[in-house]
């Protein structure tokens, strides 16, 4: 049965602060909740202000509305927001990786021998998915402008070298996003391999890809939160055990690739920002 959670409980947990921009609400009328998972439960709901909530529900980023009047300033705002958000996401996924390689412990263990507490894992997971969703909205908006070839766009008047640099930065941001999403999938797979739902951390009977859901006692959804769990059959050895060494190595490789891309992105973004400011 899907958990029913009142917004007030989420606001209280998040101290009545938007988890994206940090804005605080004097009352609940300025706040909303947003879910990182298909079936919202306490562990997947986050507090957002009305502006950040609107963005994740499909509204254009602020820089998009000013693009026609100040293309350089708008692009600078895009770079500042997206690179900062992706940088925070890299750090959050690194924490998530630490949690799952050590094994997130139950919330009532104040000094777990490995990993962090259950609530810390869940909070980090919310941070990761929220940040990735924000980046998606900014990159989608940039793609919409770039793809409009039928009418004149603000990018048409950019210096060719600036436009070329923008395309390079755009490619790097998308590459970084791919590495980060892959790392999240691997981290969550490690949680399922340990017999817990990656969404709520409740114990589960692990089901592999290819199992017949109609005849198996191991359903493909968590009985506690109703969200789909990650399949782990790709990481099984011939004797049916999960090859954690190979799984953790793949996770480490994605984090390393994300770090390398971040370094390259930082250099390219700095160059582009200087040209936009000039």
What does pLDDT average to over the chain?
86
What's the pLDDT score for residue 106?
Answer: 45
Q: Which residues sit opposite 17 in a β-bridge?
A: 24
Same domain, 55 and 68: no
Residue ending a domain, choose from 33, 59, 85: 59
Q: Would the pLDDT of 10 be above 70?
A: yes
What's the pLDDT score for residue 213?
Answer: 46
Give mean pLDDT, residues 109-122: 62
Residue ending a domain, choose from 15, 35, 59: 59
Same domain, 180 and 263: yes
Q: Would the pLDDT of 114 be above 60?
A: no
Q: What is the dihedral of CA 179, 91, 81, 40, to 10 degrees?
A: 80
Q: Would the pLDDT of 24 be above 70?
A: yes
- 29 is in which domain, residue-wise? 1-59
Task: Output the DSSP codes for 4-45.
Answer: ---HHHHHHHTTTB-TTT--B-SSGGGEEEEESSSS--GGGE
Same domain, 180 and 206: yes
Same domain, 76 and 35: no
Burial of 151 (0-12, 13-18, 19+ CB in 10 A): exposed
What's the pLDDT score for residue 144?
Answer: 87
Count of CB atoms situated within 10 Å of the CB of 40: 20
Same domain, 36 and 141: no
Same domain, 53 and 75: no
Same domain, 140 and 242: yes
> How does pLDDT run across 32-90, given as a tens digit for each residue?
999 999 999 999 999 999 999 999 999 999 999 888 889 999 999 999 999 999 999 99
The Cα–Cα gap between 106 and 108 comes to 6
Same domain, 84 and 180: yes
pTM score, whole prediction: 0.87
Q: Would the pLDDT of 20 be above 50?
A: yes
> How does pLDDT run across 185-233, given as a tens digit for each residue?
999 999 999 899 999 999 987 555 555 544 444 558 899 999 999 999 9
Same domain, 54 and 64: no
Domain count of the chain?
Answer: 2
> How does pLDDT run across 242-263, given as a tens digit for each residue?
999 999 999 999 999 999 999 9
Same domain, 17 and 112: no
> How does pLDDT run across 116-130, given as a tens digit for each residue?
588 899 999 999 999
* Cα angle value 170/173/177 (rounded, 5°): 140
Same domain, 52 and 162: no
């Amino acid at each position: 049965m899907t958990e029913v959670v009142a917004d007030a409980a989420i606001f209280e947990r998040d101290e009545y602060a938007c988890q994206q921009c940090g804005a605080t609400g004097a009352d609940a009328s300025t706040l909303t909740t947003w879910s990182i998972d298909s079936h919202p439960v306490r562990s997947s709901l986050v507090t957002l202000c009305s502006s950040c909530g609107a963005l994740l529900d499909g509204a254009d980023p602020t820089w998009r509305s000013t693009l026609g009047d100040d293309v350089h300033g708008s692009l600078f705002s895009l770079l500042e927001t997206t690179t900062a958000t992706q940088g925070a996401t890299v750090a959050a996924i690194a924490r998530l990786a630490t949690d799952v390689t050590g094994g997130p412990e139950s919330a009532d263990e104040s000094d777990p021998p490995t990993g962090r507490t259950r609530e810390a894992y869940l909070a980090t997971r919310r941070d990761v998915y929220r940040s990735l969703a924000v980046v998606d909205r900014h990159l989608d908006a940039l793609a919409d402008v770039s793809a409009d070839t039928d009418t004149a766009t603000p990018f048409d008047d950019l210096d060719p070298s600036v436009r070329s640099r923008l395309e390079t930065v755009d490619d790097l941001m998308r590459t970084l996003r791919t590495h980060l999403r892959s790392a999240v999938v691997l981290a969550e797979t490690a949680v399922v391999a340990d017999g817990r739902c990656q969404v709520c951390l409740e114990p589960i009977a692990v089901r592999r890809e290819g199992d017949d859901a109609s005849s198996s006692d191991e359903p493909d959804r968590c009985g506690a939160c109703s969200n789909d769990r990650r399949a782990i059959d790709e990481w099984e050895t011939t004797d049916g055990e999960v090859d954690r060494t190979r799984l953790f190595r793949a996770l480490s490789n994605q984090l390393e690739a994300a770090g390398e891309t971040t370094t390259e992105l930082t250099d390219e973004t700095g160059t582009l920002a200087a040209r936009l400011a000039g």
